[in-house]
Structure 1
Amino acid sequence: PKGDPRYVSTLEEDIAEVKAASLDEAKDFYQKFYGASQGEIAVVGDFDPAVIKPLLEQLFADWKSPAAYARIPEQANLVPPINESIKVADKANAIFFAANNLAVQDTDPDYPALVLGNYILGGGFLNSRLATRIRQKEGLSYGVGSQVSANALDKSGRFFVYAIAAPENIAKVETAAKEELARALSEGFTAEEVEAAKKGYLESLKVSLGKDGALASTLESYLFLDRTMEWRKQWMAKVEALTAADIKAAMNRHLAVDKLSIVKAGSL
Structure 2
Amino acid sequence: MKIATKKIAACAILALATGLFYQESARAAIPIQQWKASNGAQVYLVESHAIPMVDVQIDFDAGGRRDPADKAGLASVTAAQASSGVAARGAEPGLDENALGEAWADLGASFGGSAGSDRMSFGLRSLSEPGLLAKAAQLAARQLGEPAFPEAMWLRDRERMAASIRQANTRPSTLAGRAYAAAVYGSHPYGFEVTEATLARISVNDMKALHRSLVEPCRAKISIVGDVTRAQAQTLVNTLLSRLRLTVPARCAPLPPVAEVAPLAAADLRNIPFESAQAHVLMGQPGYKRTDPDFFALTVGNYILGGGGFVSRLSSEVREKRGLSYSVYSYFSPGLHAGAFTVGLQTRPDQARQAVEVVRQVIQTFVAGGPTDAELQAAKDNLIGGFALRIDSNRKLLDNVANIAWNKLPLDYLDSWTQQVEKVTVADIKAAFRAKLQPEKMVTVILGATP
Counterpart residue number, 2:38: none
Alignment match of 1:167 (pick from 349, 363, 379)? 349
Matched, 1:93 2:274: no
Matched, 1:59 2:240: yes
How far apart are the structure 2 equivalents of 1:82 and 1:241? 36
The one-letter amino acid paired with 2:444 is: I
Task: Choose 165-174 or 29-38, whichever is displaced more.
Answer: 29-38
How far apart are the structure 2 equivalents of 1:129 and 1:141? 13
Which runs of structure 2 are paired with 1:148-159 in the superposition (5 Å)?
148-151=332-335, 156-159=338-341
Counterpart residue number, 1:115: 299
Counterpart residue number, 2:310: 126
Matched, 1:249 2:431: yes
How far apart are the structure 1 equivalents of 2:223 and 2:295? 27
Q: CA deviation at 1:189?
A: 1.9
How far apart are the structure 2 equivalents of 1:105 and 1:51? 32
Q: CA deviation at 1:128?
A: 0.5
The one-letter amino acid paired with 2:373 is: A
Q: CA deviation at 1:127?
A: 0.6
Counterpart residue number, 2:260: 75
Counterpart residue number, 1:205: 387
3-state SS of paired residue (2:219): coil
How far apart are the structure 2 equivalents of 1:38 and 1:64? 11
Question: How has the CA–CA distance of structure 1 residues 7 and 247 changed in structure 2, closer, same or farther, with 3 Å as cutoff?
Answer: closer
Which runs of structure 2 are paired with 1:7-86 in the superposition (5 Å)?
7=189, 11=193, 14-47=195-228, 53-64=234-245, 68=253, 70=255, 72-73=257-258, 75-80=260-265, 81-86=267-272
Q: CA deviation at 1:74?
A: 5.4
How far apart are the structure 1 equivalents of 2:378 and 2:291? 23
How far apart are the structure 1 equivalents of 2:375 and 2:213? 53
The TM-score with structure 2 as length reference comes to 0.51
Where do 4+ consecutive residues of structure 1 move more than 6 Å? none
Alignment match of 2:442 (pick from 252, 260, 266)? 260
Q: CA deviation at 1:48?
A: 5.4
Question: How has the CA–CA distance of structure 1 residues 27 and 226 changed in structure 2, closer, same or farther, with 3 Å as cutoff?
Answer: closer
Q: CA deviation at 1:21?
A: 2.8
How far apart are the structure 1 equivalents of 2:425 and 2:190? 38
How far apart are the structure 1 equivalents of 2:289 and 2:213? 34
- Ranked by relative contact order (alpha carbons within 8 Å, sequence separation 6 or more), the top structure is 1
Aligned pairs, how many? 262
How far apart are the structure 2 equivalents of 1:94 and 1:180? 20
Question: Do the aligned residues in 1 keep the contact of 2:287 with 2:332 (CA within 8 Å)?
Answer: no
Q: How big is each residue's C-alpha offset from its partner over 1:123-172, in whole Å with a ceiling of 9 and x where there is no partner? A: 11111011122233322223311112444x66x35322111223222212
Question: Do the aligned residues in 1 keep the contact of 2:291 with 2:407 (CA within 8 Å)?
Answer: no
The one-letter amino acid paired with 1:64 is: R
Question: How has the CA–CA distance of structure 1 residues 31 and 249 changed in structure 2, closer, same or farther, with 3 Å as cutoff?
Answer: closer
Question: Do the aligned residues in 1 keep the contact of 2:283 with 2:343 (CA within 8 Å)?
Answer: yes
Matched, 1:230 2:412: yes
3-state SS of paired residue (1:164): strand
3-state SS of paired residue (1:264): strand
3-state SS of paired residue (1:227): coil
How far apart are the structure 2 equivalents of 1:245 and 1:59? 48
Q: How big is each residue's C-alpha offset from its partner over 1:172-212, in whole Å with a ceiling of 9 and x where there is no partner? A: 22011112112223443221110011111233333202232
3-state SS of paired residue (1:42): strand
Question: Do the aligned residues in 1 keep the contact of 2:306 with 2:314 (CA within 8 Å)?
Answer: yes
Question: Do the aligned residues in 1 keep the contact of 2:324 with 2:347 (CA within 8 Å)?
Answer: yes
3-state SS of paired residue (2:221): coil
Q: CA deviation at 1:238?
A: 3.4
The one-letter amino acid paired with 2:388 is: K
CA RMSD of aligned residues (A): 3.1
Task: Choose 216-225 or 188-197, whichever is displaced more.
Answer: 216-225
Alignment match of 1:140 (pick from 324, 339, 342)? 324
How far apart are the structure 2 equivalents of 1:65 and 1:135? 57
How far apart are the structure 2 equivalents of 1:174 and 1:39? 44
How far apart are the structure 2 equivalents of 1:252 and 1:55? 47
3-state SS of paired residue (1:139): coil
Question: How has the CA–CA distance of structure 1 residues 136 and 211 changed in structure 2, closer, same or farther, with 3 Å as cutoff?
Answer: farther
The one-letter amino acid paired with 2:377 is: E
The one-letter amino acid paired with 2:380 is: K
3-state SS of paired residue (2:341): strand
Percentage identity across aligned positions?
Answer: 24
Question: How has the CA–CA distance of structure 1 residues 216 and 8 changed in structure 2, closer, same or farther, with 3 Å as cutoff?
Answer: closer
How far apart are the structure 2 equivalents of 1:65 and 1:88? 53
The TM-score with structure 1 as length reference comes to 0.81
